[in-house]
Structure 1
């Protein structure tokens, strides 16, 4: 029985843990949460932070693991690459994973290799940024160089907001650095979705249409993703080529990727971010619904060094969406109400909170009430109904002072 070390046991990681068990693996989980939902599906559990590379390496070495996975979580991606490289296990190069994980390193790499990028520069102090601010065309994005889940991100159109928003970004940065980059206006929807490379070749990708909610506390958290992509085939092919060029330059190997991409009016492709992991929010589950391809299984195979050469592109079937259930205010959670006209579209859903539990607005991609999967009969129905999901799916929250 092969030993697989999985970094994290959150609700969003259970599908991968269960899949690995079904594939006959012996599952070891590292997570600092004693009540991690995925723990009950594991054979062993260690209370270790997934970002602690040396602690995870010590456990991995002592247990003589056969593979390591950080599924749908940025926090453990670098650790997984580090441990795998140290132990000679299958993985992408650690330096390459570090490059695409850190926004400052990624922009420098892209610039050196003539990718389309927004004008960008990283700083460790607000005073340095103020001195350069006149060089940027507004609006600009302020981001921590090393955070995930849209934590600490802001969009500003005035120098008077710089100090406040840079301060927020710095609070979410482990290295205490933030990056300013010019905002890229989209042609069509923001491109998300997942892909997979075998020996460095992008053999599979499933692009989604991502939409953000202006009603959320953080408007840069993706709330809705729909499949298949509505972008013209020529643009999808251009995006594919740019991803492949990046993979080649970074000498990536076999594994999954999550995309965060924009295309401007001139059809220039901007690889805003690309993570060396499967996407969250049920991305691989939705992609299996859309294409029949089980990316979770291939991710586990890749981590164990098994043959992934059977993976290839698959045409999308049907019209699908994932929707992040969220609250727009703080309070006591009562229920999720779904409009009658949408009920027949709901395939499945789950909640991460209980009735009567305190909830907060979604400030990042890790704070939400649950997820919902929907299916539509046509692309027209998909477009029309997903535009109004925030009206048709409502979280009812009671004020805390009323309950008290």
Structure 2
């Protein structure tokens, strides 16, 4: 049996484990956490960092690898490319797309080259240079690692008082020590989950994105279709196509975060040339009937892409379930009643009673996903409010409080 390597063993990689097995492949999972969800899902599990492709290849030896994939993880994309080269798999990521995924400063250069709406930013590994740059950009601003994802290491600042602390916090979450300081763009937040086939934008889902707000600015929910004028949607598709043409991304998934300013500018914030995290493929499947996990695996296998969606679409929401404090999960109340709600199509809880949970200060601390659908946005919003009143995570806070 041929092997599929999945880098990462978190909740957003698990669908690839299951889909790979459904397609008839032996799944090898890689994650440095011994308690990663993927450890129980894989046919073979390597407890090691997913960022060491040479080490992974040494452990696995000369096996038959059909494809390598890492949904929702920017950090592992360079290892995906190198393992694909080592095992001579059918699909190789475009170098420009790969770099945009792991280097926020390079992505900003691409935006500038294309003449798309931009904002002030500086990327460097020197705290002194970053401090000087912050004074020139002004406040509020956002400080984050230049090569990380999942909202790790992010701080929003209204003034210079905590700037040294924010730079050091971002550096700790950077693999290279590079930090990017950006002007905080005002406007409405959106996300794009798209798929290219032979240089053509074959699918694009745009979501209204709700975030937690300062200081971390983490995704909390997505609603699709987004409340966007058709003219903005058209401009967005043109811009996404132009970006991907510039970086050579002609086939496969790509996701973006952007802000629509009060003046109507589309300001791209970040991109990843892989399946989105925070349950986005799950939302796309329920809203559009498109299995992007299967499509991404078939792409990695070198198979032809068939991107087809259902003709009837419903309004759908994905809510990330989260804790407000660090502590021990002592009970989950209302879960059975939640599942009986007609609008609820899927609910996933990643933590067990008795386990330790973390406050939602980065994407990896989530407790689960809730997916709901309805015929109208008003009904969806009402049902979501009811669902959040119904489900309750009972947490005994740590004596020292959240970090």
TM-score between the two structures when normalised by the length of structure 2: 0.90
| CA deviation after TM superposition for structure 1 residue 284, in Å | 1.0
Gaps of 5+ in 2: none
Match of 2:32 in 1: 32
TM-score between the two structures when normalised by the length of structure 1: 0.89
Match of 1:273 in 2: 270
User: Cα gap change, 1:372/1:140 in structure 2, threshold over 3 Å: closer, same or farther?
Assistant: same
Match of 2:150 in 1: 149
Q: Distance in 2 between matches of 1:42 and 1:332?
A: 28
Match of 2:110 in 1: 109
| CA deviation after TM superposition for structure 1 residue 400, in Å | 4.2
Larger mean CA deviation between 335-344 and 66-75 belongs to 335-344
| CA deviation after TM superposition for structure 1 residue 276, in Å | 1.2
Q: 1:200-256, CA deviations, whole angstroms, 9 ceiling, x for partnerless residues?
A: 322111111110125xx9541111111221112221221111111011011113211
The correspondence of residues 212-361 of structure 1 with structure 2, limited to 5 A, is: 212-214=211-213, 219-308=216-305, 310-312=306-308, 317-337=313-333, 344=341, 345-361=343-359
Match of 2:54 in 1: 54
| CA deviation after TM superposition for structure 1 residue 91, in Å | 2.4
User: Cα gap change, 1:95/1:61 in structure 2, threshold over 3 Å: closer, same or farther?
Assistant: farther
| CA deviation after TM superposition for structure 1 residue 9, in Å | 2.5
Aligned pairs, number: 397
SS where residue 97 of structure 1 aligns? helix
Larger mean CA deviation between 46-55 and 143-152 belongs to 46-55
SS where residue 361 of structure 1 aligns? coil
The correspondence of residues 34-183 of structure 1 with structure 2, limited to 5 A, is: 34-58=34-58, 62-89=62-89, 90-183=91-184
| CA deviation after TM superposition for structure 1 residue 401, in Å | 5.2
* 8 Å contact from structure 1 (residues 85, 93) kept in 2: no
Q: Distance in 1 between matches of 2:110 and 2:145?
A: 17
Q: Distance in 2 between matches of 1:316 and 1:69?
A: 30
SS where residue 366 of structure 1 aligns? helix
SS where residue 363 of structure 2 aligns? coil
| CA deviation after TM superposition for structure 1 residue 104, in Å | 1.6
* 8 Å contact from structure 1 (residues 203, 313) kept in 2: no
Match of 1:200 in 2: 199
* 8 Å contact from structure 1 (residues 78, 94) kept in 2: no
Q: Distance in 2 between matches of 1:324 and 1:379?
A: 18
SS where residue 362 of structure 1 aligns? coil
User: Cα gap change, 1:266/1:388 in structure 2, threshold over 3 Å: closer, same or farther?
Assistant: farther
Larger mean CA deviation between 140-149 and 63-72 belongs to 63-72
* 8 Å contact from structure 2 (residues 372, 380) kept in 1: no
Q: 1:79-114, CA deviations, whole angstroms, 9 ceiling, x for partnerless residues?
A: 112322454430222343023321122112322332
What is the aligned-residue RMSD (CA, Å)?
A: 2.6
Q: Distance in 2 between matches of 1:280 and 1:14?
A: 11
Gaps of 5+ in 1: none
Larger mean CA deviation between 103-112 and 378-387 belongs to 378-387
Q: Distance in 2 between matches of 1:398 and 1:34?
A: 25
